Structure 1
Amino acid sequence: MAEEGYKVVLNVYDLSNGLARQLSTSFLGKPIEAIWHTGVVVYGNEYFFGGGIQSLPAGTTPYGRPVRVVELGETHIPREVFEDYLRDISPRYTAETYRLMTHNCNNFSNEVAQFLVGAGIPDYILNLPNEVMSSPMGPLIMPMIQNLESTLRSNAAPMATQFVPTSASVSVSAPPMPPPQKKPNSAAGSSESKKQEEEKKSEAAAKVGDSLGGARGKVQEEVMREFAAIMASGTLRASEAAALAMRRVMERHGDATTMQQS
């Protein structure tokens, strides 16, 4: 007689509660649909990676109601065999090995899905880190990500990340303005006038770049301060604290940032 089959589904959550879709273009310079978290549901339980491999009865995880439920297929692997497999891979899924960009809950779900049904989870979930890092803000948020990962491993409050200005956000002294001249009537005079107008536009663009660079650095530091304060309260896990810190800062700056982009 064939082994009994077990349905396998993927619960998909948006840790930003819709804010990523609303504000990602303003903060990252490109649209991001959501900040994905996933868990694999099988044998009546949901299995996920958060400070280690965890299992809770389906529908009772701290992430609330999933925004999507993706059917992955059916497995004939007995529960005992699956949980032996989880014990085997558990040394690779701990708080110390967690990496926000390369070794996170979605990577765990993908590996588990391949074991159970021979296929991974949707690419749009796995490709989220690449989407973020390929955005204009990607290089600026990498120091914050590295700081957060260090915090997850040491369980210490993070220091605010120092903002390193890019070439576009470095202030430069404006060149001295040429002395006023009489308006020429020749074609050469017209060319000189256009050149001066272009120089003024370049100076204005440099000032805008400096302002935006400083604003992004302040947002980054605010996120780290919020994260440190939430972790100090001892009421949330690091992954939840990180999502809440980002949400609070995005809510504070969303209107102003959207106006800047208009």
Structure 2
Amino acid sequence: MDQTSSYPVELYIYDLSRGMARQLSPLMLGRELDGIWHTGIVVHGKEFFFMAEGIHNCRPGGTTMGQPDAILGLGSTEVPEDLFMEYLASLEESTYRCGTYNLFEHNCNTFSNEVAQFLTGQTIPPNITDLPSEVLSTPFGQALRPILDSVAINPGGNNITGQR
């Protein structure tokens, strides 16, 4: 009889602003933001995330941002590690290649959302995925867009394919 293993899947959530978004957003955007979110998916003992140089991983909570501000359980997966790594390698060859990162449209949160759906069938919270459009819907967000479009988040870690 074939035994299927189940592996927990978690979303690690980091506030890149370290609390400043909550303080400054009412003045700058006219509404309060809880944070500026970076996320990573934790499964098979590693944290996986997307940045300008592609898909990376590290030990859970091992990014340069330190410990996450929140950890959200997304359920579990039956996808074994070798198949998951093949899936990530195919994503890095296509959708999440080095140089395809965009702070507003193609970022760590879009990656986490896609991977969460692959592993568990669940999406990550909409307050995280909707944040870019929320910011861009304000006059200040529109004014900052040309500057912010050039921003790439680099939390460290190792490239999954070993390439840079």
Give the TM-score normalised by the residue count of structure 2: 0.87
Unaligned runs of 5+ in 1: 150-237, 242-262
Whether the 8 Å contact between 1:39 and 1:105 is mirrored in structure 2 is: yes
State the aligned residue count.
152
- Structure 2 residue 47 is the aligned partner of structure 1 residue 46: yes
What secondary structure is seen at the aligned counterpart in 2 of 1:137? helix
Q: How far did residue 240 of structure 1 move?
A: 4.9
In structure 2, the CA distance between the partners of 1:240 and 1:96, relative to structure 1 (3 Å rule), is closer
Residue 84 of structure 1 is matched in structure 2 by: 86
Unaligned runs of 5+ in 2: 156-164
What secondary structure is seen at the aligned counterpart in 2 of 1:239? coil
**Where in structure 1 do 4 or more consecutive aligned residues deviate above 6 Å?**
none
In structure 2, the CA distance between the partners of 1:135 and 1:38, relative to structure 1 (3 Å rule), is same
Residue 36 of structure 1 is matched in structure 2 by: 37
Alignment of 1:218-257 (within 5 A): 238-240=152-154
What secondary structure is seen at the aligned counterpart in 2 of 1:48? strand
Greater percentage in strand: 2
Question: Aligned letter for 1:78?
Answer: P
CA radius of gyration, larger in: 1
**CA shift digits 1:204-231 (9 cap, x unpaired):** xxxxxxxxxxxxxxxxxxxxxxxxxxxx
Whether the 8 Å contact between 2:54 and 2:99 is mirrored in structure 1 is: no
From 103, 106, 111, the equivalent of 1:108 is 111
From 136, 144, 161, the equivalent of 2:147 is 144
Whether the 8 Å contact between 2:46 and 2:60 is mirrored in structure 1 is: yes
Whether the 8 Å contact between 1:29 and 1:136 is mirrored in structure 2 is: no
Asked which structure has the greater RCO (Cα within 8 Å, sep 6+), the reply is 2
Residue 56 of structure 1 is matched in structure 2 by: 58
- What is the rounded CA distance, in whole Å, between the counterparts of 1:89 and 1:47 in structure 2? 12
What secondary structure is seen at the aligned counterpart in 1 of 2:32? coil
